[in-house]
Chains A and B, each alone.
Chain A
Amino acid sequence: MSTEARKPPPQIALKIRRLLGGKAGWNGVAVQFAFAAILGWIGYEIVSNARANLENQHIAAGFGFLRNNAGFDVNQTLISYTGSDTFLRVFVVGLLNTLVVSVVGIVFATLIGFIVALCRLSPNWLLSRVGEIYVEIIRNLPLLFQILFWYLAVLAALPNPRQSISLLGLAFISNRGLVVPSPIGERGLEPFLAMLALGIVASLALRFYARRALFQEGRMIRIWPYVLGLLFGLPLATMLVFGPPFSFELPQLKGFNFAGGSRIIPEFVALTLALSTYTAAFIAEIVRAGILSVHKGQMEAGSSLGLSRGTTLRLIVVPQAMRVIVPPLTNQYLNLTKNSSLAVAIGYPDLVSVFAGTSLSQTGQAIEIIAMTMGIYLLISLLTSAIMSVYGWRVSRSLGA
């Protein structure tokens, strides 16, 4: 008589047990399911209770309002919009306005932040004091105050449109914003764009080829003359064949304001300035901390190889510092995006202003609108974090860490 070995439970069951129950085994799994059920029940109660109460009080509910006409106008729209468009379009208009101010703000904040950090680290006494003063003043004043300061300072310094400052008769600066000639596509536009795209792709391919040659065979290939030719020569050649890609519509003073041309409104300028200078102060400190975290010996090793200070920073110190810099930098990018909702104080039509503000009070549907706004901010933040995580991962990988 032979005893058969007991069959082990299937692998998948073990995995589920470990995943859900941890060390507590199947009991743990039961607790987890009970907890999930209670959470689900609470959520259901809240939603159904809210619905019933809203109905009781005859407060309109649901997302049907998104298809209604908004009936109000917005002064900066990246897509075409009029008062007879829907609330859904208002949502998109507001979202794009938030995104554009965030992206432009992030770019400037990063640039200014790095420059200030390098100033603070500079052996030049004056430069490092200037950097220090910048950081200490900017980061210690409330952001809302700074936004109002820039807005009122920008407005107060500028003349009205009839006395606007003319830049060669092409662009005009007044308290209505900066008006520049707007490009209008001509017959040559499509081939021009096609050649530009081709030039960019070819340049990238060339760079890839040159780097491979450098790392694998140790050959230095000088590519910049070819890149110049591809990026400028090709499009210029198409212009000769097909004619110019754009013509420009010049702004002209008509009545109260400029007609024609494109305009950057002062609210946008003030908000971008305030957000980027404010966030830059924090970024500067993060960058400084990152660079100081790289051992002094690295810098000395660079100089002993005969590299200049700038080259050592660029090739040796900054890549190592980036590993430390990227995670807190992500926080600052998220802060900037969220802080852009202070726009309502100066009348910049961002998402919170036009959707969670105007649309909310026109429709009265607070729960739906606030939920949508919170959802989209969450999505933007998660996307930003994801992108920065990928970047951070690439930085670490390239260092072989």
Chain B
Amino acid sequence: MKRVTLALTLALAAGLSAQTADAQTLKTVKDRGMLSCGVSQGLPGFSSPDDKGNWTGLDVDVCKAIAGAIFNDASKVKYVPLSAKDRFTALQSGEIDVLSRNTTWTISRDTSLGANFTGVTYYDGQGFMVKKSLKVNSALELNSASVCVQTGTTTEQNLADYFKANNMKYEVIAFGTNDETVKAYEAGRCDVFTTDQSGLYANRLKLANPNEHMVLPEIISKEPLGPMVRHGDDQWFDIVKWSLFAMVTAEELGVTSKNVDEKTKLENPELKRVLGSDGNFGEQLGLTKDWVVRIVKAVGNYGEVFDRNVGAGSPLGINRGLNNLWNKGGLQYAPPIR
């Protein structure tokens, strides 16, 4: 029902308003006093509400960082939980300002949806989870298995490619939401649950007996996850893009949420540029000079965000791996702020 409503909103928005794609997002957000951020319906580590209704996770921290940069208040975010198949329509129709919902960057999504990816917040890859009792050690032993998957994802297509390339048969059962998929897997409807590997670890925590399930070693795809914004508003695109880069740059320079105040006092030229006592990069973005300071105070640097939500400091305990900084063997790299 929500999907139909969204589609109708989109049709109406497209049909009745003369110019929806104006460079107005920042102004709209400021006027509203809230950032409207599309997140998942509950994926521990990335975006999930706790028992008090507070949202936490890596994707949520991206929203908070943007809200922090604009309002100097990370709580000024309205979270809109979206299923995989509703997410793009919500962005297109203008219901949300930014989509931060573990979404894989692909060429077709970048070119045909009227939206742009602003960067990569998490380098992921698709994997498989099975019950240990099946005694399967490799994805290549999954011939004729039944696979549960969430509909409307790149996962669904990678799955078809992988089984076809390896000449294996399978049965796919596709569900509308992540929770329904996990429930069906737990009920034994399928042998295998597949999604991005980070999602497998996150969902394993939701199962009754996490230890009876294992994630297979194979990674069958590249899944660079990142936020999306609408086409046609370059200023807004820059703000979201550089909010991510600011988090990575802060980690590179050793600026954390704890020491940010001391660091601003240091006479280091690069630190002065980034933290805003020198130059006016923030104002060029349409923000304030101290935008990086605001972001770091709101959520911390990228390393802190990763550690708190999915890394060693979280129940997921995922290694930094590809998501380490470029000078520590990973792929996270930010263009210079100068």
Residues of B within 8 A of A345 (CB): 175-176, 180
Residues of A within 8 A of B174 (CB): 72, 74-75, 347, 349, 353-354, 358
Bound-state Cα–Cα, A370 to B5, Å: 10
Contact of B144 among A54, A72, A254 (CB under 8 A): A254
Bound-state Cα–Cα, A353 to B152, Å: 10
Most B-side CB within 10 Å, residue of A60, A73, A83, A354: A73
Interface check A356, CB cutoff 8 A:
yes
B144 touches A256 (CB 8 A): yes
Q: Which residue of A lies closest to B183 (CB)?
A: A152
Bound-state Cα–Cα, A72 to B6, Å: 24
Bound-state Cα–Cα, A361 to B85, Å: 5
Residues of A within 8 A of B7 (CB): 360, 366-367, 369-370
Interface check B220, CB cutoff 8 A:
no
Question: Smallest distance from the beta carbon of B282 to chain A beta carbons, Å?
Answer: 28
Residues of B within 8 A of A363 (CB): 112
Question: A57 with B85: in contact, given A83-B160, A83-B164 (CB under 8 Å)?
Answer: no
A257 touches B14 (CB 8 A): no
A255 touches B145 (CB 8 A): yes
Contact with A along B104-146 (1 / 0, CB 8 A): 0000110111100000000000000000001000000011111
Bound-state Cα–Cα, A353 to B176, Å: 8
Q: Which residue of A lies closest to B170 (CB)?
A: A73
B176 touches A56 (CB 8 A): no
Most A-side CB within 10 Å, residue of B3, B15, B18: B15
Q: Which residue of A lies closest to B187 (CB)?
A: A155
Question: A361 with B231: in contact, given A53-B20, A370-B4 (CB under 8 Å)?
Answer: no
Residues of B within 8 A of A59 (CB): 92, 112-114, 231
B187 touches A152 (CB 8 A): yes
Question: Smallest distance from the beta carbon of B222 to chain A beta carbons, Å?
Answer: 16
Interface check A24, CB cutoff 8 A:
no
A75 touches B172 (CB 8 A): yes
A259 touches B14 (CB 8 A): no
Bound-state Cα–Cα, A156 to B87, Å: 32
Contact of B17 among A53, A266, A362 (CB under 8 A): A53
B92 touches A257 (CB 8 A): no
Residues of A within 8 A of B173 (CB): 75, 267, 347
Question: A356 with B172: in contact, given A254-B144, A347-B184 (CB under 8 Å)?
Answer: no
Interface check B40, CB cutoff 8 A:
no
Interface size class of B (residues with CB under 8 A): 35 or more
Residues of B within 8 A of A45 (CB): 15
Interface check B157, CB cutoff 8 A:
yes
B14 touches A175 (CB 8 A): no
Bound-state Cα–Cα, A89 to B229, Å: 32
Residues of B within 8 A of A347 (CB): 148, 173-175, 180, 184, 189
Interface check B232, CB cutoff 8 A:
yes
Q: Which residue of B lies closest to A253 (CB)?
A: B144
B255-307 CB contacts (< 8 Å) to partner A: none
A160 touches B92 (CB 8 A): no
Bound-state Cα–Cα, A363 to B86, Å: 12
Residues of B within 8 A of A362 (CB): 108, 152, 157
Q: Which residue of B lies closest to A367 (CB)?
A: B11
Question: Smallest distance from the beta carbon of A362 to chain B beta carbons, Å?
Answer: 7
Contact of A357 among B6, B142, B152 (CB under 8 A): B152
Question: Smallest distance from the beta carbon of B300 to chain A beta carbons, Å?
Answer: 33
Contact of A49 among B18, B143, B172 (CB under 8 A): B18
Interface check A364, CB cutoff 8 A:
yes
Residues of B within 8 A of A257 (CB): 144-146, 171
B184 touches A366 (CB 8 A): no
Bound-state Cα–Cα, A257 to B145, Å: 6
Interface check B212, CB cutoff 8 A:
no
Bound-state Cα–Cα, A360 to B86, Å: 9
B21 touches A53 (CB 8 A): yes
Residues of A within 8 A of B148 (CB): 347
Question: A57 with B161: in contact, given A72-B156, A256-B145, A256-B191 (CB under 8 Å)?
Answer: no
Bound-state Cα–Cα, A46 to B12, Å: 8
Q: Which residue of A lies closest to B164 (CB)?
A: A83
Question: A255 with B144: in contact, given A57-B114, A60-B112 (CB under 8 Å)?
Answer: yes
Bound-state Cα–Cα, A256 to B230, Å: 44
Question: Smallest distance from the beta carbon of A355 to chain B beta carbons, Å?
Answer: 11
B85 touches A175 (CB 8 A): no
Bound-state Cα–Cα, A344 to B11, Å: 23
A50 touches B187 (CB 8 A): no
Residues of B within 8 A of A353 (CB): 151, 174, 176
A357 touches B92 (CB 8 A): no
Contact with B along A71-95 (1 / 0, CB 8 A): 1111100000001000000000000
Could you name 28 residue pairs across A and B whose Cβ atoms are closer than 8 Å? A45-B15, A49-B15, A49-B18, A50-B15, A53-B20, A54-B14, A56-B19, A56-B232, A58-B231, A59-B112, A59-B231, A75-B174, A155-B184, A175-B187, A176-B146, A257-B144, A257-B171, A346-B184, A357-B152, A357-B176, A361-B88, A361-B152, A362-B108, A364-B109, A364-B114, A366-B6, A367-B7, A370-B4
Task: Return the 4 tightest CB-CB contacts between A and B, nearest first.
Answer: A361-B152, A59-B114, A83-B160, A57-B114
**Using a CB–CB distance below 8 Å, which chain A residues touch chain B?**
45-47, 49-50, 53-54, 56-60, 71-75, 83, 152, 155-156, 160, 175-176, 254-257, 259, 266-267, 344-347, 349, 353-354, 356-358, 360-367, 369-370
- Contacts A49-B14, A257-B171 supplied; 18 other A-B pairs, CB < 8 Å: A57-B232, A58-B114, A59-B114, A60-B111, A71-B157, A74-B172, A75-B173, A83-B164, A155-B188, A155-B189, A176-B189, A254-B144, A346-B175, A347-B180, A347-B184, A349-B174, A358-B85, A360-B3
